[in-house]
Amino acid sequence: MARLMVDNLNQADEERFVDTLGGVYEESPWVAERTWSKRPFSSIDDLQQAMAETVHDASREKQLALLRAHPDLGERTEMTDESQEEQASAGLDQLSPAQYETFQQLNETYRDKFGFPFIMAVKDESIDTIQQSMKNRIEHSQSKEFQTALDEVNVIAELRLAELTTSRDELPGQASNNN
């Protein structure tokens, strides 16, 4: 099924490519837009690597905007479906009042220090693991944490791309050949 997805993506026009992959990086369809011209991809891994390179090659301002597009962990505000699912898998949608307060304090401390939200691939992680990671990473230098956050964004994108390629085998608006 994933091979069919790669073939479809390689044949897709830019609009369909971006419609399909625009949500892989949080609120940042520019990653898919800039990656489209790098086709053809030999595999989903090749596509993911190309998207990560697109992020790496972007200006620092564009990278910072990508980081800032992510919601705070444990936040009870509107966010993308992907973020909601990922946070729910870690139990962040079921925080007790005390846990919620702790996350709010850690999020604020982190954001004040680094200028962007704490980012971690939280899918299926425990609340305790996430909180400990937050506490540890607050001690990082600005440059180390900026790179760590970008690395986590790429892990999240890799997980989202894997989910996308296992959940369907055709692009939006494309009829299935499996009838």
Catalytic residue list: 70
Cα of 146 vs its chain's centroid, Å: 15
> Residue 35 CB: number of other CB atoms within 10 A?
25
The radius of gyration computed from the CA coordinates of the chain, to the nearest angstrom, equals 17
Residue 21, CA distances (Å) to 17, 53, 98, 118, 163 in order: 6, 15, 37, 23, 12
> What count of other Cβ atoms lies within 10 Å of the Cβ of residue 6?
19
Q: Among 84, 89, 2, which residue's Cα sits nearest to residue 41?
A: 2
Angle subtended at Cα 157 by Cα 58 and Cα 117, rounded to the nearest 5 degrees: 70
From the list 54, 60, 16, the residue with the least C-alpha distance to 34 is 54
